[in-house]
Structure 1
Amino acid sequence: MLKKTLAALALGTALIGAGQASAADYVIDTKGQHAFVNFKINHLGYSWLYGTFKEFDGSFSYDAKAPEASKVKVTLKTESVDTNHAERDKHIRSGDFLNVSKNPTATFESTSVKSTGDGTADVTGNLTLNGVTKPVVVKAKFVGEGDDPWGGYRAGFEGTTTIKMKDFNIEKDLGPASQEVELIISFEGVRQ
């Protein structure tokens, strides 16, 4: 009985190891501008204000046969926020919002991936923003993968999540319609 249990444990460990070994590592292609971290927030209940972070980098591991073993990590420079309006960007960088002098980076690091359907998953991870770390769930969608024209191999994803500003110690009150920010992430990664 003990031999069968040990054999089953060894086989299970080998299968888990084989699944992990087939996951590929990718670097997010920010140099080629094939990656975006965008956001939108309601402006006074009348319209949407859109913005982006221009400077970030990251990596992920992915295996289509075992998406639950995927991992992602992204670091962005908060000072790179751009809403196409210099005075507003200066205000967003201030202590009222991102407090970039004290918190020059924001990070996301996944803690689990749960498949939710064909090519979709909930990516749970820790978001650190304005010096506060909170768990968030990114609704992710696999876009595609394959060879690129330069001899590389790429995989691409998009995802969204909504955060409450007060959860990240952003106390500036912009009115009841402007309490949450939707993050929209889209990127290609180049297999290493």
Structure 2
Amino acid sequence: MKNVLKPSIAFAGLLLAASPVYAADYVIDTKGAHASVEFRINHLGVSWLKGRFNTFNGEFSYDESNPNASKVNVEIDTTSIDSNHAERDKHLRSADFLDVKSFPKAKFVSTQYTDKGDGTATLEGELTLHGVTKPVTLAVSKVGEGKDPWGGYRAGFEGTTEFKLKDFGIDYNLGPAAETIYMNLYVEGIRK
């Protein structure tokens, strides 16, 4: 009996050691307003117009021991654009820009996360905006992770990217200084 038991225990140990470690899944904390999707675009070459999308949701998977397996999925309600100016926001929602009647949602789905080993990473993915899907790359920094005061666990990241509006079929002429939009994403996730 002892001879049979030892190999069984050894085999079980090998199975446990070979079992993959799974990433933790997080939901982006939009209910607590601990996340934001912001943008800026140059105005006439003399200043910056800033804004945000007030309504979005998403989730991500992250495992500190295997960060390259991370995945992100975010959906943005384009009707929620807010540049702190009602008339401008009405124009941004129109067919000249976001055409929210035809395209009420924008979406980002990651395809690859490359950890640089210093708290930063490159996140590649597909952005769907204005009915057009194109690859975009975000520079990502990990802000931190840990237990929260309510018994949960959180992880936070920030990311930046830029792209040309015309690449997504938005060709309203704002002048050469306003061809590129710069996005900043601040994400705090609550582990499921």
TM-score (norm 1): 0.90
Query: For residues 131 and 74 of structure 1, what CA distance do their matches in structure 2 show?
Result: 16
Residue equivalent to 2:11: none
Give the equivalent residue in structure 1 for 2:85. Answer: 85
Match of 1:8 in 2: none
Q: If you compute each CA radius of gyration, which structure gives the higher value, 1 or 2? A: 2
Matched with 1:154 is 154
Distance in 2 of aligned mates of 1:80 and 1:65: 36
Deviation, structure 1 residue 85 = 0.1
Amino acid at match of 2:151: G
User: CA separation in 1, counterparts of 2:37 and 2:56?
Assistant: 8
- Shift in Å, 1:83: 0.2
Alignment of 1:43-122 (within 5 A): 43-122=43-122
Structure 1 residue 28 displacement after superposition: 0.1
Rounded to whole Å, the distance in 1 between the matches of 2:20 and 2:49 is 46
Deviation above 4 Å: which 4+ runs of structure 1? none
Q: For the residues of structure 1 that align with 2:181 and 2:31, how far apart are their CA atoms?
A: 26
Specify the code of the residue in structure 1 equivalent to 2:56. F
SS at match of 1:163: strand
Within the alignment, does 1:28 sit opposite 2:28 as a pair? yes
SS across alignment from 2:116 = strand
Query: Is residue 140 from structure 1 mapped to residue 140 from structure 2 by the alignment?
Result: yes
Q: Report the alpha carbon displacement of residue 65 of structure 1 after superposing the two structures with TM.
A: 1.0
For 2:138, give the aligned amino acid: V
Deviation at 1:134, TM superposition (A): 0.1
- Kindly state the Cα deviation for residue 18 of structure 1 after the two structures are TM-superposed: 1.1
Distance 2:105 2:149 in 1: 33
Corresponding residue number in structure 1 for 2:10: none
- Give a deviation string over 1:110-139, Cα, whole Å, max 9, x none: 000111241111100000000000000010
CA distance in 2, matches of 1:173, 1:139: 28
Distance in 2 between the 1:117 and 1:152 partners? 26
What TM-score do the two structures reach when normalised by structure 2? 0.90
Deviation string, structure 1 residues 42-94 (Cα, Å, up to 9, x no partner): 00000001000000000000001111000000001000000000000000000
Aligned partners of 1:167 and 1:94: how far apart in 2? 18
Instruction: Give secondary structure in 2 for the equivalent of 1:88.
Output: helix
